[in-house]
Structure 1
Amino acid sequence: MARALLLENPHPNADPIFASAGVEVVRHPGALDENELIAALDGIDILGIRSTTHVTERVLAAHPDLLAIGAFCIGTNQIDLKSAARRGVAVFNAPFSNTRSVVELAVAEIIALTRRLTVRDKSLHAGVWDKSAAGSHEVRGRTLGIVGYGNIGTQLSVVAEALGMRVVFYDTAEKLALGNAQRMGSLAELLAVADIVTLHVDGREGNAGMFGREQFEQMKHGAAFLNLSRGFLVDYSVLRAKILDGSVSGAAVDVFPDEPKRTGDAFESELRGLPNVILTPHVGGSTQEAQENIGHFVSGKLTRYLQAASTDLSVNLPRLSLEPSDAARYRVAFVHRNTPGVLALVNQTFAEHGANIEGQILGTRGEIGYVVTDIGSELPREAVEAVRQMEDTLRLRVMTRPAVD
Structure 2
Amino acid sequence: MNTTSYPKDKIRILFLENISPKAVQLFSDNGYTQVEQVSGALSEDELIRAIGHVHLLGIRSKTHISERVLQAAPKLQAIGCFCIGVNQVDLDAATRYGVSVFNAPYSNTRSVAELVAGLSVMLMRRVIDKHTAAHQGIWLKDARGSHELRGKTMGIIGYGNIGSQVSVIAEALGMKVLYYDQETKLPLGNAKACATMEALLQDSDIVSLHVPGTVHTCNLIHAGNLPLFKKGAMLINCSRGEVVDLEALAGALRTGALGGAAADVFPLEPEKNGDTFETPLQGLPNVILTPHIGGSTEEAQVNIGEDVGHKLFQYLEKGVSYGSHTVPPISLPPIDGAHRILHIHNNVPGVLSEINTLLAANGVNIEGQYLKTNDRIGYVVLDVNKQLSQQAIALLRGVKETIKLRLLY
TM-score bracket, shorter-length normalisation: over 0.9
Partner of 1:346: 355
Q: What does residue 230 of structure 1 align with?
A: 240
Q: Which residue, 33, 39, 44 being the options, matches 1:34? A: 44
Match of 2:385 among 376, 380, 405: 376
Q: Of the candidates 307, 317, 320, which is equivalent to residue 297 of structure 1?
A: 307
Moved more, 151-160 or 20-29: 20-29
SS of residue in 2 equivalent to 1:64: coil
State how far apart, in whole Å, the 2-side matches of 1:205 and 1:338 are: 27
Query: Which of 241, 261, 269 is 1:251 aligned to?
Result: 261
Instruction: Find the residue that maps to 1:176 and give its secondary structure.
Output: coil
Cα displacement (A) at 1:90: 0.4
Q: Count how many residue pairs are aligned between Structure 1 and Structure 2.
A: 399
For the 8 Å contact 2:53–2:74, the answer to whether it is kept is: no
Per-residue CA distance 1:319-371 (angstroms, 9 max, x = gap): 111112333x2111111111122212212222222222222221112212111
**Partner residue in 2 for 1:72:** 82
Q: Is the 1:196–1:225 contact (alpha carbons within 8 Å) kept by the matching residues of 2?
A: yes
Match of 1:53 in 2: 63
Deviations 1:86-105 (A, max 9, x none): 10000000111111000100
Q: Of 91, 99, 110, which aligns to 2:120? A: 110
Distance 2:63 2:306 in 1: 20
Whole-angstrom distance in 1 between the partners of 2:354 and 2:315: 25
Question: Are residues 282 and 144 of structure 1, via their aligned partners in 2, closer, same or farther at CA, if it must alter by over 3 Å?
Answer: same
Conserved? CA contact 2:64–2:88, under 8 Å: yes
Are 1:361 and 2:370 counterparts? yes
Choose which of 210, 226, 230 in structure 2 pairs with 1:216: 226
C-alpha change, 1:373 and 1:204, in structure 2 (3 Å) is farther
The correspondence for 1:121, drawn from 119, 131, 137, is 131
CA contact (8 A) 1:2 1:22 kept: no
Per-residue Cα deviation, 1:40-71 (whole angstroms, up to 9, x for no partner) = 21321111111111101111112222111010
Q: CA deviation at 1:114?
A: 0.7
Tell me the equivalent position of 1:204: 214
How far does residue 380 in structure 1 lie from its aligned partner after superposition?
Answer: 4.5
Contact 1:324 1:374 (8 Å CA) reproduced: no
C-alpha separation between the residues in 2 aligned to 1:139 and 1:130?
21
Are the aligned partners of 1:335 and 1:371 in contact in 2 as well (CA < 8 Å)?
yes
Unaligned runs of 5+ in 2: 1-9
Contact residue 30 and residue 263 of structure 1 kept, 8 A:
no
CA distance in 2, matches of 1:262, 1:4: 22
The one of 23, 37, 41 equivalent to 1:14 is 23
For 2:351, the aligned partner's letter is V
Of 394, 397, 404, 2:406 maps to 397
Match of 1:96 in 2: 106
State the distance in 1 between where 2:393 and 2:215 align: 38
1:61 maps to a residue whose letter is Q
Q: Distance in 2 between matches of 1:260 and 1:350?
A: 53
The gaps in structure 1 that reach 5 residues or longer are 401-405
Q: Which AA in structure 1 matches 2:177? A: V
Alpha carbons of structure 1 residues 179 and 369: separation in structure 2 relative to 1, 3 Å: same
* Matched-pair contact (CA < 8 Å) for 1:337–1:369: yes
Partner SS for 2:227 = helix
Out of 179, 199, 211, the position equivalent to 1:169 is 179
The AA in structure 1 aligned to 2:373 is T
Q: CA deviation at 1:303?
A: 1.1
Q: Which residue of 2 aligns with 1:334?
A: 343
1:318-329 equivalences under 5 Å are: 318-327=328-337, 329=338
1:63-87 per-residue CA deviation (whole Å, 9 max, x = no partner) reads 2221110100001101001110110
Instruction: Name the SS for the 1:335 alignment partner.
Output: strand
Q: Indicate the residue corresponding to 2:7 in structure 1.
A: none
Which of 259, 263, 269 aligns to 2:273? It is 263
Return closer, same or farther for 1:356/1:377 CA change in 2, 3 Å cut-off: farther
| 2:151 match: secondary structure | coil
Structure 1 letter corresponding to 2:175: M
- Equivalent position of 2:3 in the other structure: none
Q: In the aligned structure 2, how far is the partner of 1:32 from the partner of 1:61?
A: 16
Deviation at 1:379, TM superposition (A): 2.7
Q: 1:17 to 1:179 in 2, by over 3 A?
A: same
RMSD over equivalenced CA pairs, Å:
1.4
Kindly provide the amino acid, as one letter, of the partner of residue 353 in structure 2.
A
**Displacement of 1:386:** 2.7
**Cα distance in 2 for residues equivalent to 1:346 and 1:280:** 54
Identity of aligned residues (%): 49
TM-score (norm: length of structure 2): 0.94
CA distance in structure 2 between the aligned counterparts of 1:181 and 1:307, rounded to whole angstroms: 43
TM-score if structure 1 supplies the norm length?
0.95
What amino acid maps onto 1:28 in structure 2? V
Distance 1:146 1:136 in 2: 22
Deviates further, 384-393 or 169-178:
384-393
Looking at structure 2, the residues matched to 42 and 324 of structure 1 have their Cα atoms a distance apart, in angstroms, of: 30
Matches of 2:233 and 2:398 in 1, distance apart?
Answer: 61
Are the equivalent residues in 2 in contact too, given 1:145–1:169 (CA < 8 A)?
A: yes
